[in-house]
Structure 1
Amino acid sequence: MRKIYLDYSATTPVKKEVVEEMLPYFTENFGNASSIHGFGQDAKRALEKARAQIAATIAAPADTVYFTAGGSESDNWAIKGVMRANKAKGNHMITCKIEHHAVLHTCQALEKEGVEVTYLDVDSDGMISLEALKAAIRPTTVLISIMFINNEIGTMQPIQDIAQIAHESGVLFHTDAVQAYGNVKIDVSAMGIDLMSVSSHKIYGPKGVGALYIKKGIKIQNLIEGGAQEKKRRAGTENVAGIMGFAKAAQIAHDSLEAHVEKLVTLRERLLKGILESVDYVKHNGHPTLRHPGNVNVCFEFIEGEALLLSLNAKGIGGSSGSACTSGSLDPSHVLLAIGLPHEIAHGSLRLTIGDFTTEEDVDYTIEALKEVVQKLRMMSPLYDRIQGGK
């Protein structure tokens, strides 16, 4: 049986070059980067080299990049850290209803501390309204946090415009760029980004490593206390091996970005076209053009997404019904509900995300498998049978 992985937005395989970069830091250059002896200083030099490499991929100074355990920690730190450190300015922040739960749950936790949060609506494509954003800003607004690219439907927000609106009112701007990093050219200065979260395992690097970009001069409180690592801002012995892998993956992604995007877009359009032409009663979700280059999110009417995933898995195809962080939930995606889909349609969602190792043969096999699986599942649906009988 073929094995086809189409869940690259959940995680990516670690590239061989990345593994090779990491290996010496497990067995040879294993020192603690905080130690003053030679072993530690070798690790420290490697760590700072990696920091500079990652900073260069977003056109940022090296000393504005702080290593974390991943995107969720970076989101938590950015939002909690800024809101807690700037209480004198105000207690209000703005986000939107389709954010990753690392942002939404952080906002809900802050509400228990007295922070007031405005959750912006999105349109049927998942785009926020810039006019609604402007109208939501108050004199007490401290932070706007809007994700760069949505992890489920792939919609890309107008980041530069959002940053400009924020700065015109003296408000800080954070973006969760976990899905964008490695798939879009990012220049934090030109785009006006004040804080940005990224993750290694979405760009063919190891899991458990991420970073938070913090523009110089930003007032932010620590999230993790303890040692003096990361310029006394993020305690904990640095995962040097993981960070070296992250930096290597970031460099590869940066250097091959144009070819990477071109390949993903070509395969994405082939997959979407094949699905829409092969299966009826299908809705494509997300913005038609301003989207993640490898994301295809569709809803199939009259079937359940979980049954669809299990049937595809039986054919060797790995997909998703949405965010991997909520895959154990039977509730419809909060993203799909926010763009206006009724529960019965949202329940039939499928997210297929393409990556560097996807082939045309993989795409064509998936289209044929989907056609067969959807037809089989619909034959068991009384509602579909009723509609077909009415034709």
Structure 2
Amino acid sequence: MIYLDYAATTPMRDESIQAYSEVAKKIFGNPSSLHDHGTSAKNVLEGCREELAKLIAVPKSGVFFTGGGSDANILAIQSLLLGNKHKGKHLITTKVEHSSVKNLFKKLEDEGYTITYLNVTSSGEVNLKELEQSITEETVLASIHHVNSEIGVIQPIHEIGKILKKHDILFHSDCVQSFGKIPIEIKEANLDSISISSHKIYGPKGVGAAYINPMVKWSSVFPNTSHEFGFRPGTVDVPGIAAFVIAAQLIYNEMTDEQQRLQTLRTHLIEEIGHLHLPIEIINRASLHLPTILGLLIEGIEGQYSMLECNRHGVAISTGSACQVGQQEPSKTMIAIGKTPDKAKQFIRLSFGKYTTIEDIDFLLKIMKQIINNFRL
């Protein structure tokens, strides 16, 4: 099967599997234990923390390993809010955040926080003027993702960071989709906190990390927690973390060349859709975008049908974020950029990765043309 759903998850690369296996067999101790097995595990853990910190150019004391990107989002935001209760109870986010952030903010709203949900432009970008106008004396934190998981638009986090810094507002960003694909300039963007994930970069599932600026105050969500310096409870998955960091190092080494290769594939697909005169609307053709994600609307055909037909022909695509699939709702990003509910239901997402070839793209085009022609018979 041709796999074009890398934004949902990626296959583990061989080097990551090997690292997991070696550490699991040889360094199996609990890093909190005081005997030699525990010390060996702690040394590996702290070595991984240092290496990951180097990749994202931050102090290692601000890096905390988590159970994934969603876990990192939830813990980072809650920890920052608990540490800054005195600053106010107004929060800012967008209408197109990942479900982990969206659902957390709904919970916080029930707990007495006031939330401003920012609109986005027709290309999916945050409106900076609206962001600045939404700030109040009670605003304590804003959570705005780096890259949209459905259409790949890159948010102007440097400009967002400048605005928030000027008003002394904490800035958290979900960087799960951007990590390993484009640089995350944490200091330059005035980011106080980010979340990243292993399984989006060819590492194992169930592992991720949060970064919180060591100069920023935060409090543990779970009092008396001893693991990860009080940030997260539970025995640390040292083999998983080792495999994650190996995958991170490798994807960073390959980043520039790989993104250029994937941009070539993306451009080829878009050009061929035009050459074939297929009734397909390209989402985010002009805006700053991640080469690995492309959103499409196939005229008159629901995305669910297109996805199932592609699957029947041996091509795996999606109808949006894997964390909200099955809810039978139109894409929240499509609605946010101004599409009608009926139009939004036509949405499909293609996402490319390490093993995607030009032949895969050409086969996809053949199947899409066939699906459209058969649907219209």
- Shorter-chain TM band: over 0.9
SS at match of 2:129: helix
* Correspondences of 1:273-352 after superposition (within 5 Å): 273-286=271-284, 288-352=286-350
Query: Offset at 1:190?
Result: 2.0
Give the Cα–Cα distance (whole angstroms) in 2 for the partners of residues 189 and 368 of structure 1.
Answer: 45
Point out where structure 1 has 5 or more consecutive residues left out of the alignment.
Answer: 380-391
- The aligned amino acid for 1:267 is L
Q: Which residue is equivalent to 2:232?
A: 234
Q: Which residue is equivalent to 2:12?
A: 14
Give the Cα–Cα distance (whole angstroms) in 1 for the partners of residues 164 and 301 of structure 2.
Answer: 42
Q: Which residue is equivalent to 1:147?
A: 145
* Correspondences of 1:1-391 after superposition (within 5 Å): 3-225=1-223, 227-286=225-284, 288-379=286-377
Counterparts in 2 of 1:6 and 1:289: CA distance versus 1, 3 Å: same
Give the Cα–Cα distance (whole angstroms) in 2 for the partners of residues 182 and 276 of structure 1.
Answer: 30
CA contact (8 A) 2:147 2:290 kept: yes
SS at match of 1:362: helix
CA contact (8 A) 1:59 1:186 kept: no
Give the Cα–Cα distance (whole angstroms) in 1 for the partners of residues 266 and 223 of structure 2.
Answer: 43
CA contact (8 A) 1:225 1:235 kept: no
Query: Offset at 1:279?
Result: 4.5
> Can you list the C-alpha shifts for 1:35-56, whole angstroms capped at 9, x where unaligned?
1111111110000111111111
Query: Offset at 1:33?
Result: 0.6
SS at match of 2:209: strand
Give the Cα–Cα distance (whole angstroms) in 2 for the partners of residues 235 and 225 of structure 1.
Answer: 9
SS at match of 2:364: helix
Give the Cα–Cα distance (whole angstroms) in 1 for the partners of residues 347 and 253 of structure 2.
Answer: 34
Give the Cα–Cα distance (whole angstroms) in 2 for the partners of residues 227 and 279 of structure 1.
Answer: 59
CA contact (8 A) 1:60 1:187 kept: no
Give the Cα–Cα distance (whole angstroms) in 2 for the partners of residues 169 and 375 of structure 1.
Answer: 55
Bigger drift between 282-291 and 347-356 goes to 282-291
Q: What TM-score does the superposition give when structure 2 sets the normalisation length? A: 0.97
Give the Cα–Cα distance (whole angstroms) in 1 for the partners of residues 291 and 58 of structure 2.
Answer: 24
Superposed CA RMSD: 1.2
Give the Cα–Cα distance (whole angstroms) in 2 for the partners of residues 53 and 315 of structure 1.
Answer: 42
Point out where structure 2 has 5 or more consecutive residues left out of the alignment.
Answer: none
> Can you list the C-alpha shifts for 1:86-118, whole angstroms capped at 9, x where unaligned?
221100010111111111111000001100000
Give the Cα–Cα distance (whole angstroms) in 1 for the partners of residues 51 and 88 of structure 2.
Answer: 36
- Size of the aligned set, in residue pairs, is 377
> Can you list the C-alpha shifts for 1:204-227, whole angstroms capped at 9, x where unaligned?
100000000000122223234554
Give the Cα–Cα distance (whole angstroms) in 1 for the partners of residues 336 and 287 of structure 2.
Answer: 19
Bigger drift between 282-291 and 359-368 goes to 282-291
SS at match of 1:325: coil
Query: Offset at 1:277?
Result: 3.0
- The aligned amino acid for 1:30 is F
- The aligned amino acid for 2:164 is A
Counterparts in 2 of 1:265 and 1:224: CA distance versus 1, 3 Å: farther
- The aligned amino acid for 2:7 is S
SS at match of 2:349: strand
Q: What TM-score does the superposition give when structure 1 sets the normalisation length? A: 0.94
Give the Cα–Cα distance (whole angstroms) in 2 for the partners of residues 325 and 233 of structure 1.
Answer: 24
Counterparts in 2 of 1:360 and 1:157: CA distance versus 1, 3 Å: same
Give the Cα–Cα distance (whole angstroms) in 2 for the partners of residues 224 and 252 of structure 1.
Answer: 34
Query: Offset at 1:201?
Result: 0.3
SS at match of 2:286: coil
Give the Cα–Cα distance (whole angstroms) in 1 for the partners of residues 17 and 29 of structure 2.
Answer: 18
Counterparts in 2 of 1:224 and 1:260: CA distance versus 1, 3 Å: farther
> Can you list the C-alpha shifts for 1:225-272, whole angstroms capped at 9, x where unaligned?
554111122221100010001100110011111111111111111122
Give the Cα–Cα distance (whole angstroms) in 1 for the partners of residues 222 and 254 of structure 2.
Answer: 35
